[in-house]
């Protein structure tokens, strides 16, 4: 009862409600502007949370995440430009519906399925995060060491595109995370005598540089594309149509939850699996790909079912499942909090206040999403030539705000160039960021294990939990190798 009062005290603050609403509005707005991504918005919003209370700060970022996921589907449906990779599946049926004059119906289907999936995902988060954290309380340094190994391998093995490039990106991220003073011996590592690097590379300039600056560079580097105008025409979704899609929405949400809870898998896989599952089971399977409302609903359910579930490994184990949860992890750290099983013991009220806020964000998404359908053209018609200079200004101010140093602006621009080169060479940025976050955790748990055991390596195979993690780590490596050869053979055959 005492805890409940504390939770309500933490949650029932006007700041939290404003943060959620503002977050969802920013997310939907940014998501519905082609070329801007939810990741970019979350990265840019992070410096604004410095002076906020932890609950409001995290809820703002979660709101942007959720809004961005829905916002991405608006452009996918109306102008065949997915706002996020996960929305690529939505356009398979959404865009043909828009061409047939049923854009509004597709957008409503996307919104309703997004909200329902988001709600189911949140429920899963509330139930499973606490349960998993309870199990994780039995983990020591060797168990966490293997858990981090598993997370790294699965993030790389499931990275889109080339596995070799995913691995290289993660290794580069780990390497950069080691710059600074060594945590045990205090010796300098790759600082080159620069005192700005002694305290390691700042997370926020790296983040903004990697996810916002490349888009700006690309915009000024490439040939201008004519602006496409679109309107949400037609009638909305009927109750009968929603009922018809309900089974696919629930199944898609559960697929999203399962996939989202595994670090590294992501919303894109969930959207496509949910879509193909719905197509397989639907009596209208022949209509899929030609403008089937159930296809839009299934894709969006899979996509949004991931949102709450990706927070399960983050909150219970302290392991980020994707780029956005990695940024949210950064926000926790900025506020002096470390997600993981210990947080469930020491800050339980804060976690439950967050859960309440996350549940409330689904409701806000419904309201804001409806308004976005109405006013989409107002948002999407802002020319990027006006938008990007303002985005750059936010980037610079945000990077400088971390330590009040021009060095951080340099750092941000340097990582912007790195991010641009990544895009041009096909190296994925997500494993790089996750490597940067997991690198120090990996080293810290390795050293702690060795210190505990006095250098005895058998500590790494000390019991069933470590055996389990070793098995799934090697399983994930085997899967990655299998996928590599399968993709290579498929390419050779197609050539």
Binding site for other proteins (CB under 8 A): 47-48, 50-51, 162, 164-165, 167-168, 171-172, 174-175, 178, 182, 184-185, 187-192, 216-224, 383-386, 388-390, 392-394, 396-397, 400-401, 404, 406, 409-410, 413, 423-427, 439, 442-443, 446-447, 450-451, 454-455, 488, 491-492, 495
Q: Which is nearer to other proteins, 327 or 392 (CB)?
A: 392
Minimum distance, C-beta of residue 152 to other proteins, in the bound complex (Å): 12
Give, in order, the Cα–Cα distances in Å from 87 to each of 167, 226, 268.
Answer: 25, 22, 7
Q: Which is nearer to other proteins, 179 or 250 (CB)?
A: 179
The secondary element (H helix, E strand) that includes residue 180 is strand 180-181
Q: Which is nearer to other proteins, 240 or 386 (CB)?
A: 386
- What sign for the dihedral angle of Cα 472, 152, 69, 12? positive
Cβ proximity of 113 and 300 under 8 Å: yes
**Contact residues for 264 (Cβ-Cβ < 8 A; gap 6+):** 151, 154, 155, 156, 157, 158, 159, 321, 322, 434
Minimum distance, C-beta of residue 443 to other proteins, in the bound complex (Å): 5
Q: Which is nearer to other proteins, 48 or 479 (CB)?
A: 48
- What sign for the dihedral angle of Cα 79, 246, 369, 312? negative
Minimum distance, C-beta of residue 355 to other proteins, in the bound complex (Å): 26
Minimum distance, C-beta of residue 154 to other proteins, in the bound complex (Å): 17
Q: What is the DSSP letter of 337?
A: -
Q: Which is nearer to other proteins, 50 or 479 (CB)?
A: 50
Minimum distance, C-beta of residue 457 to other proteins, in the bound complex (Å): 9
Distance CA 376, CA 369 (A): 10
Q: Which is nearer to other proteins, 52 or 116 (CB)?
A: 52
Look at residue 484 and give its three-state secondary structure. helix
Q: Which is nearer to other proteins, 188 or 370 (CB)?
A: 188
Minimum distance, C-beta of residue 433 to other proteins, in the bound complex (Å): 16
Distance CA 232, CA 236 (A): 10
Q: Which is nearer to other proteins, 454 or 458 (CB)?
A: 454
Cβ proximity of 436 and 176 under 8 Å: yes
Minimum distance, C-beta of residue 50 to other proteins, in the bound complex (Å): 6
**Contact residues for 139 (Cβ-Cβ < 8 A; gap 6+):** 147, 341, 465
The neighbour count for residue 130, using CB atoms within 10 Å, is: 18
Minimum distance, C-beta of residue 416 to other proteins, in the bound complex (Å): 8
Minimum distance, C-beta of residue 303 to other proteins, in the bound complex (Å): 20
- Count of CA atoms in the C-beta half-sphere (13 A) of 231: 4
Minimum distance, C-beta of residue 240 to other proteins, in the bound complex (Å): 38
188: which strand partners?
181
Q: Which is nearer to other proteins, 171 or 472 (CB)?
A: 171
Q: Which is nearer to other proteins, 181 or 242 (CB)?
A: 181
Long-range pairs for 24-27 at CB < 8 Å and ≥24 separation? Answer: 24/63, 24/64, 24/66, 24/67, 24/361, 24/364, 24/365, 24/368, 25/67, 25/368, 26/63, 26/64, 26/67, 27/63, 27/64, 27/65, 27/66, 27/67, 27/68, 27/69, 27/70, 27/71
Cβ proximity of 110 and 90 under 8 Å: yes
Q: Which is nearer to other proteins, 138 or 385 (CB)?
A: 385
Minimum distance, C-beta of residue 271 to other proteins, in the bound complex (Å): 18
Closest-CA residue to 31 (of 4, 66, 56): 66
């Amino acid at each position: 009862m005492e805890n409940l009062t504390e939770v309500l005290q933490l949650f029932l603050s006007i700041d939290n409600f404003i943060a959620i609403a503002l977050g969802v509005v920013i997310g939907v707005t940014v998501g519905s502007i082609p070329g801007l991504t939810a990741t970019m918005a979350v990265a840019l919003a992070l410096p604004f949370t410095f002076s906020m209370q932890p609950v409001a700060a995290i809820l703002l970022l979660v709101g942007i995440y959720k809004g961005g996921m829905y916002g991405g589907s608006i452009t996918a449906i109306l102008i065949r430009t997915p706002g996020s990779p996960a929305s690529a599946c939505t356009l398979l049926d959404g865009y043909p519906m828009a061409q047939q004059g049923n854009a509004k119906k597709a957008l409503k289907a996307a919104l309703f399925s997004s909200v329902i999936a988001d709600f189911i995902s949140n429920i899963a988060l509330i139930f499973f995060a606490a349960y998993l954290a309870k199990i994780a309380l039995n983990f020591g340094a060797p168990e966490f060491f293997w858990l981090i190994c598993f997370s790294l391998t699965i993030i790389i093995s499931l990275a889109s595109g080339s596995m070799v490039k995913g691995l290289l990106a993660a290794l580069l991220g780990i390497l950069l995370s080691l710059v600074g003073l060594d945590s045990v011996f205090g010796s300098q590592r790759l600082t080159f005598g620069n005192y700005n690097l002694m305290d390691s590379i700042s997370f926020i300039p790296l983040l903004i540089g990697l996810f916002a600056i490349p888009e700006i560079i690309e915009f000024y580097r490439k040939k201008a594309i004519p602006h496409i105008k679109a309107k949400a025409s037609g009638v909305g979704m009927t109750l009968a149509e929603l009922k018809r899609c309900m089974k696919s929405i629930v199944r898609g949400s559960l697929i999203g939850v399962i996939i989202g809870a595994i670090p590294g898998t992501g919303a894109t896989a969930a959207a496509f699996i949910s879509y193909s599952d719905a197509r397989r089971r639907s009596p209208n399977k022949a209509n899929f790909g030609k403008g089937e409302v159930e296809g839009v609903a299934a894709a969006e359910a899979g996509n949004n079912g991931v949102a709450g579930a990706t927070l399960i490994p983050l909150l219970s184990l302290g392991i980020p499942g994707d780029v956005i949860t990695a940024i949210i992890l950064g926000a926790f750290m900025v506020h002096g909090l470390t997600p993981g099983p210990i947080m469930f013991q020491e800050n339980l009220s804060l976690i439950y206040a967050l859960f309440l806020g996350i549940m409330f964000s689904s409701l806000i998404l419904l309201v804001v999403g409806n308004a976005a359908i109405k006013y989409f053209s107002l948002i999407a018609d802002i020319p990027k030539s006006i938008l990007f200079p303002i985005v750059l200004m936010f980037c610079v101010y945000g990077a400088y705000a971390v330590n009040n140093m021009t060095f951080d602006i340099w750092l941000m621009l340097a990582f912007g160039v790195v991010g641009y080169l990544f895009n041009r060479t096909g190296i994925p940025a997500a494993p790089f960021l996750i490597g940067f976050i997991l690198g120090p955790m990996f080293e810290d748990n390795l050293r702690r294990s060795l210190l505990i055991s006095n250098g005895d390596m058998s500590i790494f195979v000390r019991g069933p939990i470590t055996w389990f993690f070793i098995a799934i780590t090697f399983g994930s490596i085997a899967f990655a190798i299998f996928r590599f050869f399968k993709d290579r053979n498929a390419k050779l055959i197609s050539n």
